[in-house]
Chain A
Amino acid sequence: MAGNKGRGRAAYTFNIEAVGFSRGEKLPDVVLKPPPLFPDTDYKPVPLKTGEGEDYVLALKQELRETVKRMPYFVETHEEKQDIERYSKRYMKVYKEEWIPDWRRLPRELMPRKKCKKGPKSEKAKDTGKGTSLTNTADVLKKIEELEKRGDGEKSDEENEEKEGSKEKSKEGDDDEDDNAAEQEEYDEEEQEEENDYINSYFEDGDDFGADSDDNMDEATY
């Protein structure tokens, strides 16, 4: 399809004048790089609108920005431990209201589950878990005895591990069943417990507990 190209000379198939420039004219350079990031503009932008209304909306916007940070919907990211604990950090913590969604309007799967908790409720779960695990352990021991009779030590170890795995799974299954009757207070507890690892119910003795240093052991404690 190449055909004659005008015997070695370039010839356009259309009237070149129509594009806007004639032959042999100096054209602007080919652009070889992307346009600059902050190009110079010939015309400066129009100044902003000013007025009472605009000022009020501006103030509203800035206030709103500060307010949303204090709302319970602002989910804080957990910061890693800083190398130096700042004293002021303890006293600059913003007190946030708790927010409990209306669970009737939300899918059930969004409710927090029991097994993720630490605290009194989890102890209850652990207790029930222990109960089932006890029975499971009994089964496991029986199985181990049976297998030892067959005389393959390694195999029984593997089977033991499998049994442990299935024990965990069955424990989780129990927890799931318990979860269907979840109540609202669980969510509260989890909220309050997220701050630290301590179980709230333990230390009820007040501030004096553990305040005595252990360094002065020569002094008698009364």
Chain B
Amino acid sequence: MTQAEIKLCSLLLQEHFGEIVEKIGVHLIRTGSQPLRVIAHDTGTSLDQVKKALCVLIQHNLVIYQVHKRGVVEYEAQCSRVLRMLRYPRYIYTAKTLYSDTGELIVEELLLNGKMAMSAVVKKVADRLTETMEDGKTMDYAEVSNTFVRLADTHFVQRCPLVPATENSDPGPPPPAPTLVINEKDMYLVPKLSLIGKGKRRRSSDEDATGEPKAKRPKHTTDNKEPIPDDGIYWQANLDRFHQHFRDQGIVSAVANRMDQVISKWVGQWLSGIFTYLQMWPLAYSQSQHSRVNSEFQFIFQTQTSSEIVRTMLRMSEITTSSSAPFTQPLSSNEIFRSLPVGYNISKQVLDQYLTLLADDPLEFVGKSGDSGGGMYVINLHKALGSLATATLESVVQERFGSRCARIFRLVLQKKHLEQKQVEDFAMIPAKEAKDMLYKMLSENFISLQEIPKTPDHAPSRTFYLYTVNILSAARMLLHRCYKSVANLIERRQFETKENKRLLEKSQRVEAIIASMQATGAEEAQLQEIEEMITAPERQQLETLKRNVNKLDACEIQVDETIFLLESYIESTVKRQ
């Protein structure tokens, strides 16, 4: 783990779990797998605190344990999982867009608690939703359960590995740590609970089906307190599935930006006069138009088609393709036609035209793998990720060094290897400036030099020096910088907050006083007086602080999007066995 990653992990752990857990977590990330007593000794913390910290970390899937020989249990931290904590808001927001508020709260509870039993999740979410609803209305458990089942069916939540249910009959002492197992097939199997109840009040007994191979046998009591029927079955959020979703989103928007812009420019050239006129019309299909305008307007309205087609193809391959596959399963054009969203009325020929267009595009997002069924098409996932990473690199070079540097960069990218002289010629940039730019990019490691010796003694006068872009290493370098950036952003935000701590506390107190006075019914004059406790310059300071903190937070979120892209690309290049 690089220093930048460790620093970022340390900041994230500290924000989420406090200093003690942070100390233990960072120690484990730095030193690898260690037993309990060694951790306590090396970090100088008491054994109790180490135990507590480890319990918290294991609960949140940040640390795993393994039993080694002679009964020693060793704990290992998962650095990459710790870095995912930065992305929690994005996961929750995605759940909201897909499954609305119920889904959002379910995923939020699972992320905040690490792992939870289904019944516990349902109860908590129902309570929270009931609180936000109007008086008298309550949230039914059944609705929350349905959303949970849908999340499990689409693999957004998965079961945690289970303690083996069979009691081993050997008379020796129980093992120092359980070995958790999970069956692939059971990972998304929802236990058949009939949770009857509404938010805030939980009634009726809960039943359990008998067909679950790994479920613990529940006690059939009608007691309200214990035990919960799905005891021992815990659920966690499936981050890989979310990542798959983000990747699909990225690909669809890339296709939309590229293809749909091309097509709308194309159409715009035809109807240069009418184009601006049409832009004033609402998107809804208006009946009272001239028929010619109608047909062209329909064409413009459906310029989102190419991205829609790609989205359909990705949706069809969601469950069938594993997240690390280089391309999706081949889909025939007929299947795609049938799976297009309802209300999308393009004819089969138009669909075929679009597919051919997509397959011929130099970006190679979509490839044609056969001719049966009207043409078999696949989406090249790895290539798509590579293109996205390359686009990120290009954009970084452009924003950092200017558009002429970006031109050189794109040139070298395209031609793979170029000599100094050739760069100057192809880019049409004067020699001195071209040299300057190349060396600047070289010093920042966006571009690298490739030596090709003419003679075995590598004499400099008889060696070719070629400039080249190694995308993978440039991506790794950029990723490392992103980690550093996020760590800097978090540090700065914490610094800003600490600087103004006194002022923040004062404003919180004033707000609390105002709230309590309003509740007890106070006059306007009194409230005014209390509000004036915060002077105008202080108010200004608070405004500035709020704006800065918001900006820093937004930066973190957006850098995290870049981190995701680069990490996905790098992961896709790692060969799997």
Q: For residue B420, which residues in chain A have a CB less than 8 angstroms away from its CB?
A: 18, 20
Q: For residue B435, which residues in chain A have a CB less than 8 angstroms away from its CB?
A: 20
A110 & B55 in contact (Cβ 8 Å cutoff): yes
The answer to the question of B322 belonging to the interface, with a C-beta cut-off of 8 Å to chain A, is no
Q: For residue A49, which residues in chain B have a CB less than 8 angstroms away from its CB?
A: 554, 558
Q: Which B residues, 92 to 108, have Cβ-Cβ distances below 8 Å to chain A?
A: 92-93, 96, 108
A43 & B400 in contact (Cβ 8 Å cutoff): yes
A-B contact count (CB 8 A): 128
B558 & A60 in contact (Cβ 8 Å cutoff): no
Nearest-neighbour CB distance to chain A for B487, whole angstroms, equals: 15
Nearest-neighbour CB distance to chain A for B418, whole angstroms, equals: 14
The answer to the question of B553 belonging to the interface, with a C-beta cut-off of 8 Å to chain A, is yes
A57 & B73 in contact (Cβ 8 Å cutoff): no
B55 & A101 in contact (Cβ 8 Å cutoff): yes
Complex Cα distance A20/B553, Å?
44
The answer to the question of B491 belonging to the interface, with a C-beta cut-off of 8 Å to chain A, is no
Nearest-neighbour CB distance to chain A for B466, whole angstroms, equals: 12
Given contacts A13-B459, A61-B89, contact A108 B18 (CB under 8 A): no
Nearest-neighbour CB distance to chain A for B425, whole angstroms, equals: 15
Complex Cα distance A171/B316, Å?
67
B558 & A68 in contact (Cβ 8 Å cutoff): no
Complex Cα distance A109/B48, Å?
11
Given contacts A18-B461, A101-B59, A109-B176, contact A54 B554 (CB under 8 A): yes
Nearest-neighbour CB distance to chain B for A50, whole angstroms, equals: 8
A106 & B92 in contact (Cβ 8 Å cutoff): no
Complex Cα distance A106/B177, Å?
6
A109 & B36 in contact (Cβ 8 Å cutoff): yes
Nearest-neighbour CB distance to chain A for B480, whole angstroms, equals: 17
Q: For residue B174, which residues in chain A have a CB less than 8 angstroms away from its CB?
A: 108
A76 & B18 in contact (Cβ 8 Å cutoff): yes
Name the one of B51, B89, B460 contacting A60, with C-beta atoms under 8 angstroms. Answer: B89
Q: For residue A111, which residues in chain B have a CB less than 8 angstroms away from its CB?
A: 51
Complex Cα distance A108/B67, Å?
11
Nearest-neighbour CB distance to chain A for B263, whole angstroms, equals: 24
The answer to the question of A42 belonging to the interface, with a C-beta cut-off of 8 Å to chain B, is yes
Complex Cα distance A71/B431, Å?
61
Given contacts A104-B178, A106-B58, contact A13 B19 (CB under 8 A): no
Given contacts A13-B459, A14-B459, A74-B18, contact A57 B93 (CB under 8 A): yes
A105 & B180 in contact (Cβ 8 Å cutoff): yes
Name the one of A45, A57, A110, A180 contacting B89, with C-beta atoms under 8 angstroms. Answer: A57
B178 & A105 in contact (Cβ 8 Å cutoff): yes
User: CB-nearest residue of chain A relative to B96?
Assistant: A56
B557 & A57 in contact (Cβ 8 Å cutoff): yes
A112 & B51 in contact (Cβ 8 Å cutoff): yes
The answer to the question of A116 belonging to the interface, with a C-beta cut-off of 8 Å to chain B, is yes
Q: For residue A108, which residues in chain B have a CB less than 8 angstroms away from its CB?
A: 174, 176-177
Nearest-neighbour CB distance to chain A for B490, whole angstroms, equals: 11
The answer to the question of B336 belonging to the interface, with a C-beta cut-off of 8 Å to chain A, is no
Complex Cα distance A209/B19, Å?
38
Contact pattern, B 15-45, Cβ under 8 Å of A = 1, otherwise 0: 1111111000000000000001000000000
Nearest-neighbour CB distance to chain A for B559, whole angstroms, equals: 10
Nearest-neighbour CB distance to chain A for B5, whole angstroms, equals: 20
Q: For residue A71, which residues in chain B have a CB less than 8 angstroms away from its CB?
A: 112-113
Complex Cα distance A116/B90, Å?
42
A58 & B553 in contact (Cβ 8 Å cutoff): yes
The answer to the question of A32 belonging to the interface, with a C-beta cut-off of 8 Å to chain B, is no
The answer to the question of A48 belonging to the interface, with a C-beta cut-off of 8 Å to chain B, is yes
Q: Which B residues, 545 to 575, have Cβ-Cβ distances below 8 Å to chain A?
A: 550-551, 553-558
The answer to the question of A62 belonging to the interface, with a C-beta cut-off of 8 Å to chain B, is yes
The answer to the question of A198 belonging to the interface, with a C-beta cut-off of 8 Å to chain B, is no
Contact pattern, A 102-123, Cβ under 8 Å of B = 1, otherwise 0: 1011111111100010000000
A46 & B399 in contact (Cβ 8 Å cutoff): yes
Nearest-neighbour CB distance to chain A for B366, whole angstroms, equals: 27
B21 & A75 in contact (Cβ 8 Å cutoff): yes
Contact pattern, B 514-556, Cβ under 8 Å of A = 1, otherwise 0: 0000000000000000000000000000000000001101111
The answer to the question of B426 belonging to the interface, with a C-beta cut-off of 8 Å to chain A, is no
Nearest-neighbour CB distance to chain B for A6, whole angstroms, equals: 15
Q: Which A residues, 83 to 102, have Cβ-Cβ distances below 8 Å to chain B?
A: 101-102
The answer to the question of A77 belonging to the interface, with a C-beta cut-off of 8 Å to chain B, is yes
B177 & A107 in contact (Cβ 8 Å cutoff): yes
A73 & B17 in contact (Cβ 8 Å cutoff): yes
Given contacts A45-B399, A71-B112, contact A64 B19 (CB under 8 A): no
Contact pattern, B 101-123, Cβ under 8 Å of A = 1, otherwise 0: 00000001000111000000000
Contact pattern, B 48-59, Cβ under 8 Å of A = 1, otherwise 0: 110111111011
Complex Cα distance A64/B553, Å?
12
The listed residue with most B CB atoms (<10 A of its CB), out of A54, A67, A101, A107, is A107
Nearest-neighbour CB distance to chain B for A112, whole angstroms, equals: 6
Complex Cα distance A18/B402, Å?
25
The answer to the question of A36 belonging to the interface, with a C-beta cut-off of 8 Å to chain B, is no
The answer to the question of A196 belonging to the interface, with a C-beta cut-off of 8 Å to chain B, is no
B551 & A48 in contact (Cβ 8 Å cutoff): yes
Q: For residue A61, which residues in chain B have a CB less than 8 angstroms away from its CB?
A: 88-89, 553, 556-557
The answer to the question of A151 belonging to the interface, with a C-beta cut-off of 8 Å to chain B, is no
Complex Cα distance A180/B232, Å?
22
B402 & A42 in contact (Cβ 8 Å cutoff): yes
Q: For residue A53, which residues in chain B have a CB less than 8 angstroms away from its CB?
A: 93
Nearest-neighbour CB distance to chain B for A69, whole angstroms, equals: 9
The answer to the question of B150 belonging to the interface, with a C-beta cut-off of 8 Å to chain A, is no
B88 & A64 in contact (Cβ 8 Å cutoff): yes
Nearest-neighbour CB distance to chain A for B361, whole angstroms, equals: 26
The answer to the question of B474 belonging to the interface, with a C-beta cut-off of 8 Å to chain A, is no
Q: For residue B270, which residues in chain A have a CB less than 8 angstroms away from its CB?
A: none
Complex Cα distance A111/B96, Å?
38
Given contacts A58-B554, A107-B176, contact A73 B89 (CB under 8 A): no
A110 & B54 in contact (Cβ 8 Å cutoff): yes
Nearest-neighbour CB distance to chain A for B437, whole angstroms, equals: 12
Complex Cα distance A87/B48, Å?
30
Q: For residue A56, which residues in chain B have a CB less than 8 angstroms away from its CB?
A: 93, 96
The answer to the question of A216 belonging to the interface, with a C-beta cut-off of 8 Å to chain B, is no
Complex Cα distance A58/B549, Å?
10
The answer to the question of B256 belonging to the interface, with a C-beta cut-off of 8 Å to chain A, is no
The answer to the question of B239 belonging to the interface, with a C-beta cut-off of 8 Å to chain A, is no
Instruction: Supply 18 A–B pairs (Cβ within 8 Å), ascending by A.
Output: A14-B459, A48-B551, A56-B96, A57-B89, A57-B93, A58-B554, A64-B88, A68-B112, A73-B21, A74-B16, A77-B18, A105-B58, A106-B58, A107-B177, A108-B174, A110-B54, A111-B51, A112-B48
Q: Please name 14 further chain A to chain B contacts, defined as beta carbons within 8 Å, in addition to the given A75-B49, A77-B18, A102-B234, sorted by A numbering.
A: A49-B558, A58-B554, A61-B557, A64-B89, A73-B16, A73-B56, A75-B52, A76-B18, A77-B20, A101-B55, A107-B65, A107-B177, A107-B178, A108-B177
| 6 pairs of A and B residues whose beta carbons are closest in the complex | A14-B461, A107-B177, A60-B89, A14-B460, A61-B89, A107-B73
Binding site for B on A (CB under 8 A): 13-15, 18, 20, 41-43, 45-46, 48-49, 53-54, 56-58, 60-62, 64-65, 67-68, 71, 73-77, 101-102, 104-112, 116, 180
